[in-house]
């Protein structure tokens, strides 16, 4: 969350409402930075295909214990719901393309945009739909 901050006597940066999260913060920072030539984009990625999906963590972070019958990894859990994983190369490519076009909010992969928009416009409906998917 961003709190009102004095910008060297140049005005205040308003704190976005809590429902906006990172997207609201991005819009506020984008508006405040535009007069200084600062460009701000918010990345809202889907489920990225990384080693963490298989239970791999940074060297100093221990793997969490799991209960009996629980999926062995996040990948195993999500595959049961039919979730498609987004390749890292695809994320990097589309992120750079969006930044090159100075997009304010990058929801990637593209197939997640309609669900993300629904979540912004009708959060209760999006929650109900996501509960039905699992």
**Nearest residue to 50 via CA among 80, 89, 22:** 89
pLDDT above 90 covers what percent of the chain?
23
Taking CA atoms, 61 is separated from 6, 64, 75, 90, 115, in Å, by 38, 9, 19, 27, 32
- Sorted by where each begins, the domain ranges of the chain are 41-133
Q: What is the pLDDT of residues 56-103, one digit of tens each?
A: 655 555 566 666 676 677 788 777 777 788 899 999 999 999 999 999
In this predicted structure, what is the pLDDT of residue 97?
A: 95
């Amino acid at each position: 969350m961003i709190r009102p901050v004095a910008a060297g006597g140049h005005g205040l940066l308003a704190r976005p409402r809590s429902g906006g999260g990172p997207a609201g913060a991005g819009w506020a920072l984008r508006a405040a930075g535009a007069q200084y030539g600062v460009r701000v984009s918010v990345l809202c990625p889907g489920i990225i295909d990384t080693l963490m999906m298989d239970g791999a963590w940074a060297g100093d972070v221990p793997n969490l214990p799991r209960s009996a019958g629980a999926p062995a990894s996040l990948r195993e859990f999500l595959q049961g719901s039919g979730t498609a994983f987004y390749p890292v190369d695809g994320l990097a490519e589309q992120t750079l393309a969006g930044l090159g076009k100075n997009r304010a909010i990058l929801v990637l992969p593209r197939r997640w945009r309609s669900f993300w928009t629904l979540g912004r416009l009708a959060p209760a409906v999006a929650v109900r739909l996501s509960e039905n998917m699992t």
